[in-house]
Structures are given as structure tokens and as C-alpha cells.
């Protein structure tokens, strides 16, 4: 059985237009990396840039580098490279801070828009104030935590509602100020319909924020065509920017005039080096900056993004769907799906680039896989998560991973004490 799966994989790899891109990554030999949805691997270009930034720019050129190597312009430069991946204009995206921090900025910006609309219309329409922020149940915790903090600040006047992922549109009404959603669920991989939900929310006057952490770099989207208001995304997953790489913010140009974000730091000032007392927000996306950019990290992300040049995102999406389908097919053929229950959608058109399986021993199974060179990850309480990054995962990798998993499940090696030890980061 496994031999015929290897044959199918060979055929699929031979016809894969992305197959040569893996060579741009410095992946360890003998490792199959199914965790790019958590931390992408380093590219050769990113490694070279890291050396250059530290040994040339920082060591030799020191402070001159802010101008000489355009350190100061990196947030926009990186934003402009990310823009085509999400169907945005280059001046609608900026790289900065983390998703968590950027969500805080965006929630305030979105609420400020609603307050302004309310104030403008109040005299003649007597509109009711909008009092709800809505998000999905099972959203990544930080999104909810940040919203909880915002709601607490607006004590008594706002509530945060968690609604089921399949009932989002039905839950909306004229009392909703902001809808904040993650496009691809971090655990199950369930993918929401950005175009449809945004349109339905807009019909009710709601401002929508999308978290694209598990989207950017693996699923093409079109912020311009779909009228997206605001979005955030991650630099360290499918964009391969390295641990703690800066995140990004997208804001549609139509909102730039009235942008108000609460972290009014000096880098977001219209003239940071005028050192004036009064804060005057910079133009457009610049207003989203707060403090000094993390230049080393930002430079590495900048170099890592070059792997996407010349890559068709439609090809990436096609392969991502094929990889998840093929993995399920291999697991079915090996009889693994009876024991490892797949909680990702069956339909690949609503599935991101990952598969999730529940098992009481999910953590230990994951550790046993890692020991055999197949890196997956675990999400509490009982989910084994496999991520499929089409730029460096091959169909052959899938069969090999499934073969390893089959051995582990059959021999129950995961019951070994060594695989039960929980580390600080699971």
C-alpha cells in the first residue's frame, strides 16, 4: 500500500510548479517540517541578510544605517512586499509590532470610526449607539484577550460576544460596532468567507477586522476587491520572518483620513525628528507605527519575503489544498483515521493549509513524531496539528510523515515516558 502512495507522490511532485523553491530554504537534512503554521524556516537569503545587518550595517555603519540602509523605511518597505499577497495596495500595509498589539490599535481605530459616524449622524437621525464587539468562538485566545481589555476600558458601554463560526452573519445587527474574526481557525483550519461576511457586515454598518495569521503567504485573498476595512497578519508563520518577526497591519485607503490609533508613539508622528511636544499623526499607515522598529528582525523578514517573488499565489493555494487532501488519503489508506479523528473540514474549499486530529495522547504522539524527524505541533487539550507550507513541503514528505505516524500508532511508542514530558512551549 505505502509503495503505491510513494509512486503517487512521485507523480505529483514531478508536476508541481513550486518544487524548486524548497532549495531556497535552509531546512535541516532528514527533517520534514509540518509546522510552518507556527514558525516558518529560515531562507538562505534571510540568513545572509542577518549577517549583513549585524556585521556590516550595525557593526560598521552603525547609526548611519538609519539613512544609508533605509532602516527607517523598513516598516513601509516590508508592508509593500506583503501587500500583493493580500490584494492590497503597497501604501495600505505596514509592518510593525505583534498581532496582539496591532489588534489593540485596530479595535480602537474601528471604534473611533463608529463614534465619528454616530456623532455626525446623531443630530438628524438619532441613531442608537452600537454596543457590541463580536468575534468567533474558538478564536485564537490573544484576539479575545485584547478585545476583553478594550471592553474593560469602555466599562459598561461595550460588550464582547463570542458567536459560533457557522452563525456569524445571523448574529449581527445594528447594535454591532466591530466584527473581529480570524480567517482560518488556528486549531481546526476552518476558513471563513471574507468576501461574504464583510459584505453582510457592511450592509449593517459594521466595521470588520480580519486576523490573517494563518492566511498570509498560503491563501490568496483580495482586500481591495472584497472591501476589507482592516486586517492584521503574522510575520513568523508562512512569511518565514523568524521567531518574533514583526506582524503587519492593513487599513483600506478609504479609512486613512480618519485613522485614530491609541498608541501615539513618536514613530507614528508626522515628523518624528522634529521632536515637538504635540502629537500629530503621520500620513496613512505611518500613523500605525509606535516605537522604534526592530531593525534586525524586520530586515530578516524583508529578505525572507523575496521567496514569494515570481510565485503565483493561486499555485500556492492549489498545492496547499492538494497536500491536505493527499495527507488525508494516505492516512485513510493506512487506517489511521479511525483512531485519529480529523476535526478539520472535509471540504478543502473551506479548509486552510492545515489538518487537526484529536487523540487523548496527541501531545505524546507529536513528541514521538518529532523524535523521528517529522515536526508537527500540539494544541491543548488534545489536538495534533499538521501544517502544510507548499513552498517547502513535498508530496513525498507527506507519505514519509504518514509512514512514521503509522509506525508510532501501531507500536504505541508514544506511551513511552520520554514523550509524556511537557515543556514550557508545547
Ligand X SMILES: Cc1ncc(COP(=O)(O)O)c(C=O)c1O
Of 172, 177, 193, give the one whose Cα is nearest residue 351. 193
234 lies in the site for ligand X, by CB under 6 A = yes
Peptide bond into 381 cis (omega under 30): yes
Please tell me which residue in 140, 186, 288, 357 is annotated as part of the active site. Answer: 140
Active site residue 325: no
Site for ligand X in 153-182 (CB under 6 A): 182
Taking contact as CB under 6 A, which single stretch among the options 75-83, 138-146, 156-164, 366-374 is the one that binds ligand X?
138-146
With CB under 6 A as the contact rule, the residue among 21, 96, 110, 213 that binds ligand X is: 213
With CB under 6 A as the contact rule, the residue among 42, 228, 247, 362 that binds ligand X is: 247
Q: In angstroms, what is the minimal distance from the CB of 213 to ligand X?
A: 4
Burial class (CB in 10 A: 0-12, 13-18, 19+), 407: middle
Instruction: Give the other-Cβ count within 10 Å of 12's Cβ.
Output: 19
199 lies in the site for ligand X, by CB under 6 A = no
∠ CA 352-357-359 to the nearest 5 degrees?
160
β-strand partners of 341: 358
Q: In angstroms, what is the minimal distance from the CB of 249 to ligand X?
A: 11
Active site residue 385: yes
Closer residue to ligand X (CB): 239 or 287:
239
Active site residue 6: no
With CB under 6 A as the contact rule, the residue among 24, 100, 115, 358 that binds ligand X is: 100
Distance separating alpha carbons of residues 118 and 273, to the nearest angstrom: 36
Active site residue 211: yes
Within 13 Å, how many C-alpha atoms sit on residue 293's CB side?
31
Active site residue 97: no
**Cell numbers for 75:** 516598516
Taking contact as CB under 6 A, which single stretch among the options 96-104, 202-210, 294-302, 357-365 is the one that binds ligand X?
96-104
Distance separating alpha carbons of residues 382 and 359, to the nearest angstrom: 6
Closer residue to ligand X (CB): 186 or 388:
186
**What's the maximum distance between 2 C-alpha atoms anywhere in the chain?**
74
Please tell me which residue in 81, 132, 319, 385 is annotated as part of the active site. Answer: 385
Of 218, 171, 225, give the one whose Cα is nearest residue 199. 225
Q: Which residues are catalytic?
A: 140, 211, 236-237, 385
Q: Interface residues with ligand X (CB under 6 A)?
A: 98-100, 140, 142-143, 182, 186, 211, 213-214, 234, 247
Amino acid at each position: 500500500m505505502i509503495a503505491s502512495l510513494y509512486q503517487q507522490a512521485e507523480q505529483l511532485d514531478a508536476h508541481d510548479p513550486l518544487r524548486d523553491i524548497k532549495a531556497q530554504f535552509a531546512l535541516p537534512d532528514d527533517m520534514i517540517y509540518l509546522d510552518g503554521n507556527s514558525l516558518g524556516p529560515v531562507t538562505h537569503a534571510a540568513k545572509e541578510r542577518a549577517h549583513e545587518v549585524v556585521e556590516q550595517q550595525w557593526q560598521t555603519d552603525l547609526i548611519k544605517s538609519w539613512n544609508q540602509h533605509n532602516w527607517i523605511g523598513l516598516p513601509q518597505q516590508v508592508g509593500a512586499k506583503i501587500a500583493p499577497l493580500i490584494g492590497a495596495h503597497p501604501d495600505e500595509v505596514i509592518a510593525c509590532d505583534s498581532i496582539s498589539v496591532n489588534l489593540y490599535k485596530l479595535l480602537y481605530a474601528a471604534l473611533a470610526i463608529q463614534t465619528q459616524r454616530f456623532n455626525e449622524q446623531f443630530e438628524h437621525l438619532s441613531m442608537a449607539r452600537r454596543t457590541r464587539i463580536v468575534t468567533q468562538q474558538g478564536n485564537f485566545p490573544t484576539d479575545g484577550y485584547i478585545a476583553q481589555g478594550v471592553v474593560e476600558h469602555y466599562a459598561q458601554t461595550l460588550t464582547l460576544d463570542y458567536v459560533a463560526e457557522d452563525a456569524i452573519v445571523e448574529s449581527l445587527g445594528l447594535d454591532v460596532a466591530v466584527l473581529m474574526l480570524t480567517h482560518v481557525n488556528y486549531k481546526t483550519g476552518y476558513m471563513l468567507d471574507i468576501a461574504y461576511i464583510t459584505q453582510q457586515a457592511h450592509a449593517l454598518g459594521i466595521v470588520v477586522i480580519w486576523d490573517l495569521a494563518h492566511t498570509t503567504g498560503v491563501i490568496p485573498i483580495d482586500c481591495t476587491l472584497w472591501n476589507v476595512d482592516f486586517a492584521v497578519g503574522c510575520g513568523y508563520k508562512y512569511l518565514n520572518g523568524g521567531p518574533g518577526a514583526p506582524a503587519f497591519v492593513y487599513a483600506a485607503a478609504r479609512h486613512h483620513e480618519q485613522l485614530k490609533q491609541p498608541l501615539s508613539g513618536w514613530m507614528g508622528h508626522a515628523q518624528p525628528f522634529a521632536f515637538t511636544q504635540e502629537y500629530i499623526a503621520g500620513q496613512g499607515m505611518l500613523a500605525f507605527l509606535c516605537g522604534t522598529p526592530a531593525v534586525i528582525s524586520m530586515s530578516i523578514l524583508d529578505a525572507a519575503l523575496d521567496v514569494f517573488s515570481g510565485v503565483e499565489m493561486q499555485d500556492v493555494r492549489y498545492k496547499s489544498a492538494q497536500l491536505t487532501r493527499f495527507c488525508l488519503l494516505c492516512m485513510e489508506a493506512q487506517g489511521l483515521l479511525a483512531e485519529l479523528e480529523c476535526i478539520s473540514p472535509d471540504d478543502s474549499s473551506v479548509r486552510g493549509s492545515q489538518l487537526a486530529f484529536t487523540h487523548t495522547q496527541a501531545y505524546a504522539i507529536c513528541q514521538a513524531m518529532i523524535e523521528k524527524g517529522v515536526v508537527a505541533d500540539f494544541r491543548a487539550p488534545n489536538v495534533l496539528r499538521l501544517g502544510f507550507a507548499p513552498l517547502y513541503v513535498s508530496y513525498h514528505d507527506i507519505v514519509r510523515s504518514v509512514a512514521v505516524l503509522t509506525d508510532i500508532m501501531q507500536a504505541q511508542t508514544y506511551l513511552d515516558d520520554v514523550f509524556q514530558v511537557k515543556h514550557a512551549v508545547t
